[in-house]
Homo-oligomer: A and B are copies of this chain.
């Protein structure tokens, strides 16, 4: 079991990673009532373990349909209504048991229900365990615009049990691994090298390796958000691969790629972009690309119109005043944020990757 401490201006909480981590929920005391927000399939598979670990026998969850569609304002309203109907007050606790959708929605509801109640994150996917559950970002989507509405609102605790990853579908599992790869790129040579040796054939049931990977990748996120809770600058590094990635997701109506897959392509593109911009040694570029590709095959980029993807980039919400802040790798463990990257090489990096520059 690893305990990571998140500390920012206003709040402090622990990220607990390890088999049996949900037992840490027993230490949350003093609430009038406690509620679990989750998805039906997840509850069926893990509800019994959760109730037993958390010590909440007979708990009746608040269920939302699985999938991105639940990350909406109307679903947030429905959950708030159910909380009210079931007697939740300002001293109630909400636990979000699920992946990014449940975590983002649950955090948003907790941050706004009666202007804010306490909540805990119990993430159940690789993506959520290494990334989205940490840092207090909550969100819902408005129409096609992902995360347009949300809050910064820290959880009381994050409890990540790697055992639960065993029930992930292989594709969803790999999609999350790409985010873990991102954190290893940000971390530096030591963790990067460790993952190079472990990534091939890694399976959802490899709880031992995953416990280490999740704990170390989560530590990267903890480190960044501890130093900058509001993304003013430092937190931007976590967007590595996300600028292209968001555009790819949007250009394909969120149907072709899982989020991590789009980020994987985005990391390949931005690695190429960094090379073209002359800030990344091609030898390091090759290692980064190799590690990304070693996770497994990605959905193809065929038939993707460059103009469409590139046009969407400027709508990326990280753009402020129309400028895109690119996160460019400068090496293993080093990135820089650049707002002055010429459109021409942004386009060329896309074309190069689409054309197979990183195909081994």
Contacts and interface: CB of A to CB of B under 8 A. Distances in A.
Nearest to A149: B112
Q: Chain A's interface: helix, strand, loop or mixed, by majority?
A: mixed
Contacts of A32: 320-322
Interface in A99-140: 111-116, 137-139
Interface residues on A, range: 20 to 34
A143 B82 CA distance: 12
Contacts of A77: 73, 142, 149
B76 A149 contact: yes
Contacts of A89: 317, 319-322
Task: Quickly give the copy total for this chain.
Answer: 2
Given A73-B73, A80-B142, A114 B151 contact: no
Nearest to A231: B115
A139 to B, nearest CB: 7
Contacts of A339: none
A344 interface: no
Contacts of A139: 115
Contacts of A56: none
Interface string A318-358: 01111000000000000000000000000000000000000
A138 to B, nearest CB: 8
A148 interface: yes
A19 to B, nearest CB: 33
A151 B149 contact: no
Contact of A84 (B115, B145, B152, B322): B145
Contacts of A91: 320-321
Given A80-B142, A84-B145, A115 B152 contact: yes
A150 B116 CA distance: 8
Contact of A148 (B80, B111, B138, B142): B80
A81 B142 contact: yes
Interface string A68-96: 00000110110011001000011100000
A94 to B, nearest CB: 13
A115 B32 CA distance: 29
Contact of A76 (B73, B116, B319): B73
A10 interface: yes
A230 to B, nearest CB: 9
Contacts of A81: 142-143, 145, 148
10 contacts: A32-B322, A74-B74, A77-B149, A81-B143, A89-B317, A89-B321, A91-B321, A113-B149, A115-B139, A116-B152
Interface of A: 10, 32, 73-74, 76-77, 80-81, 84, 89-91, 111-116, 137-139, 142-143, 145, 148-152, 317, 319-322
